[in-house]
Amino acid sequence: GNSVTQMEGPVTLSEEAFLTINCTYTATGYPSLFWYVQYPGEGLQLLLKATKADDKGSNKGFEATYRKETTSFHLEKGSVQVSDSAVYFCALLNNQGGKLIFGQGTELSVKP
């Protein structure tokens, strides 16, 4: 079946450090891929998405490229800020009823 695997957290970085959060997936067909972010005490917000192979999603300095050959969608940011501290979820959307399959989430803590 479809599944998403993320690197385990928590990830602790200093401000302005480079961020990578790994995400790999297993899916039949050609799913869409998403990164959602959950700030403390809030619901999930869409951060970025990619709908086909080699697409790059980007938003707020974050980027992720849909790599079909490695079944990956790693999240990157060149210089993190304290305000980026949150839990990040990788997810895939199959084309059967629009069901999102989530990874377990990766907590990011950025220290000043």
Partner 1 sequence: NAGVTQTPKFRILKIGQSMTLQCTQDMNHNYMYWYRQDPGMGLKLIYYSVGAGITDKGEVPNGYNVSRSTTEDFPLRLELAAPSQTSVYFCASGRRGIETQYFGPGTRLLVL
Residue ranges that bind partner 1, judged by CB under 8 A: 4, 32, 34, 36, 42-46, 49, 89, 91, 93, 95, 97-100, 102-105
Tell me how far apart the alpha carbons of residues 10 and 20 are, in angstroms, rounded to a whole number: 13
Taking the least distance from each CB to partner 1, the nearer of 70 and 96 is 96
DSSP state of 42: S
Taking the least distance from each CB to partner 1, the nearer of 42 and 112 is 42
> C-beta of 30: minimal distance to partner 1 in Å?
11
> C-beta of 40: minimal distance to partner 1 in Å?
12
The 3-state DSSP class for residue 65 equals strand
> C-beta of 107: minimal distance to partner 1 in Å?
9
Place of tokens 């210089």: 79
Those residues with Cβ within 8 angstroms of residue 107's Cβ, 6 or more apart along the chain or in another chain: 9, 10, 11, 86, 87, 88
**Pairing mode, strands 62-65 and 23-26:** unpaired
> C-beta of 43: minimal distance to partner 1 in Å?
4
Contact between 87 and 6 under an 8 Å Cβ cutoff? The reply is: no
Taking the least distance from each CB to partner 1, the nearer of 97 and 112 is 97
Taking the least distance from each CB to partner 1, the nearer of 17 and 24 is 24
